[in-house]
Protein backbone atom coordinates (compact mmCIF):
# COMPACT_ATOMS: atom_id res chain seq x y z
CA UNK A 1 0.00 0.00 0.00
CA UNK A 2 1.42 3.37 -1.06
CA UNK A 3 0.98 6.43 1.12
CA UNK A 4 -0.85 9.35 -0.46
CA UNK A 5 1.46 12.28 -1.15
CA UNK A 6 0.70 15.98 -1.38
CA UNK A 7 2.59 18.84 -2.98
CA UNK A 8 2.63 22.03 -0.94
CA UNK A 9 3.45 25.27 -2.74
CA UNK A 10 3.81 28.36 -0.60
CA UNK A 11 4.12 31.82 -2.08
CA UNK A 12 5.81 33.95 0.57
CA UNK A 13 7.39 37.37 1.04
CA UNK A 14 10.93 37.66 -0.30
CA UNK A 15 12.34 38.37 3.17
CA UNK A 16 10.64 35.38 4.81
CA UNK A 17 12.27 32.45 3.05
CA UNK A 18 15.07 31.89 5.56
CA UNK A 19 12.83 31.76 8.64
CA UNK A 20 10.39 29.58 6.68
CA UNK A 21 13.16 27.14 5.78
CA UNK A 22 14.31 27.04 9.40
CA UNK A 23 10.74 26.42 10.61
CA UNK A 24 10.28 23.60 8.08
CA UNK A 25 13.60 22.01 9.05
CA UNK A 26 12.68 22.23 12.75
CA UNK A 27 9.40 20.47 11.94
CA UNK A 28 11.28 17.68 10.13
CA UNK A 29 10.86 18.84 6.52
CA UNK A 30 14.32 19.28 5.05
CA UNK A 31 13.58 18.72 1.36
CA UNK A 32 12.38 22.02 -0.10
CA UNK A 33 12.67 23.68 -3.50
CA UNK A 34 12.85 27.47 -3.68
CA UNK A 35 12.07 29.52 -6.79
CA UNK A 36 12.10 33.28 -7.31
CA UNK A 37 8.76 34.65 -8.48
CA UNK A 38 7.11 37.99 -9.10
CA UNK A 39 3.44 38.47 -8.51
CA UNK A 40 0.74 40.32 -6.71
CA UNK A 41 -2.32 39.74 -4.68
CA UNK A 42 -4.52 42.11 -2.73
CA UNK A 43 -1.59 44.36 -1.81
CA UNK A 44 -1.30 45.54 -5.43
CA UNK A 45 2.44 45.43 -5.93
CA UNK A 46 5.04 47.82 -7.28
CA UNK A 47 4.66 49.55 -10.64
CA UNK A 48 7.01 48.46 -13.41
CA UNK A 49 6.83 50.56 -16.56
CA UNK A 50 5.50 54.02 -17.29
CA UNK A 51 1.93 55.24 -17.30
CA UNK A 52 -1.25 53.41 -16.40
CA UNK A 53 -0.15 50.43 -18.51
CA UNK A 54 2.70 49.69 -16.10
CA UNK A 55 2.70 46.27 -14.46
CA UNK A 56 2.47 45.98 -10.68
CA UNK A 57 4.42 43.04 -9.26
CA UNK A 58 6.23 42.21 -6.03
CA UNK A 59 9.22 39.92 -5.57
CA UNK A 60 8.22 36.66 -3.87
CA UNK A 61 9.59 33.19 -3.24
CA UNK A 62 7.73 30.00 -4.07
CA UNK A 63 8.64 27.10 -1.80
CA UNK A 64 7.63 23.62 -2.91
CA UNK A 65 7.75 20.47 -0.84
CA UNK A 66 6.23 17.03 -1.13
CA UNK A 67 4.97 15.37 2.02
CA UNK A 68 2.97 12.35 3.01
CA UNK A 69 -0.73 13.03 3.47
CA UNK A 70 -0.53 12.73 7.25
CA UNK A 71 2.28 15.37 7.37
CA UNK A 72 0.41 18.13 5.54
CA UNK A 73 -0.96 19.74 8.69
CA UNK A 74 2.48 19.96 10.35
CA UNK A 75 4.14 21.38 7.22
CA UNK A 76 1.41 23.98 6.76
CA UNK A 77 1.61 24.94 10.44
CA UNK A 78 5.38 25.53 10.11
CA UNK A 79 4.85 27.73 7.03
CA UNK A 80 2.03 29.66 8.73
CA UNK A 81 4.06 30.24 11.89
CA UNK A 82 7.02 31.58 9.94
CA UNK A 83 5.00 33.89 7.68
CA UNK A 84 1.86 35.11 9.40
CA UNK A 85 2.07 38.78 10.36
CA UNK A 86 -1.60 39.61 9.90
CA UNK A 87 -0.81 42.05 7.09
CA UNK A 88 -1.84 41.83 3.45
CA UNK A 89 0.86 39.97 1.51
CA UNK A 90 1.69 37.30 4.10
CA UNK A 91 1.42 34.71 1.34
CA UNK A 92 -0.66 31.86 0.02
CA UNK A 93 -0.37 28.09 0.40
CA UNK A 94 -1.59 25.62 -2.23
CA UNK A 95 -1.96 21.90 -1.49
CA UNK A 96 -2.31 19.49 -4.40
CA UNK A 97 -2.51 15.69 -4.62
CA UNK A 98 0.33 13.86 -6.37
CA UNK A 99 -0.40 11.01 -8.71
CA UNK A 100 3.11 9.65 -9.05
CA UNK A 101 6.70 10.38 -8.13
CA UNK A 102 9.81 9.06 -9.88
CA UNK A 103 13.32 9.02 -8.46
CA UNK A 104 15.64 9.90 -11.33
CA UNK A 105 18.71 8.31 -9.71
CA UNK A 106 17.09 5.09 -8.57
CA UNK A 107 14.34 4.88 -11.21
CA UNK A 108 11.85 4.12 -8.45
CA UNK A 109 8.22 4.85 -9.21
CA UNK A 110 5.63 5.39 -6.55
CA UNK A 111 2.01 6.02 -7.26
CA UNK A 112 -0.39 7.43 -4.75
CA UNK A 113 -4.13 7.79 -4.79
CA UNK A 114 -4.37 9.03 -8.39
CA UNK A 115 -3.37 7.03 -11.49
CA UNK A 116 -0.94 8.74 -13.89
CA UNK A 117 -3.56 8.76 -16.67
CA UNK A 118 -5.82 10.94 -14.51
CA UNK A 119 -3.34 13.81 -14.82
CA UNK A 120 -3.89 14.34 -18.56
Are the beta carbons of 58 and 46 closer than 8 angstroms?
yes
| Residues in the chain, overall count | 120
Q: What is the pLDDT of residue 57?
A: 79
In order along its 120 residues, the chain shows pLDDT tens digits of 567 889 999 999 999 999 999 999 999 999 999 999 988 777 665 555 555 666 677 889 999 999 999 999 999 999 999 999 998 889 999 999 988 778 788 777 776 544 444 443
pTM above 0.85, yes or no: no
Distance of alpha carbon 13 from alpha carbon 10, whole angstroms = 10
Q: What is the dihedral sign for C-alpha 67, 73, 74, 76?
A: positive
> Both ends of the chain: CA-CA distance in Å?
24
Amino acid sequence: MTTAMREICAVIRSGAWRRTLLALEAAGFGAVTRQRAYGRGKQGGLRYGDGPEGIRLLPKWVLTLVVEDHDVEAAVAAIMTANRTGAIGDGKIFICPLGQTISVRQEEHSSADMPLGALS
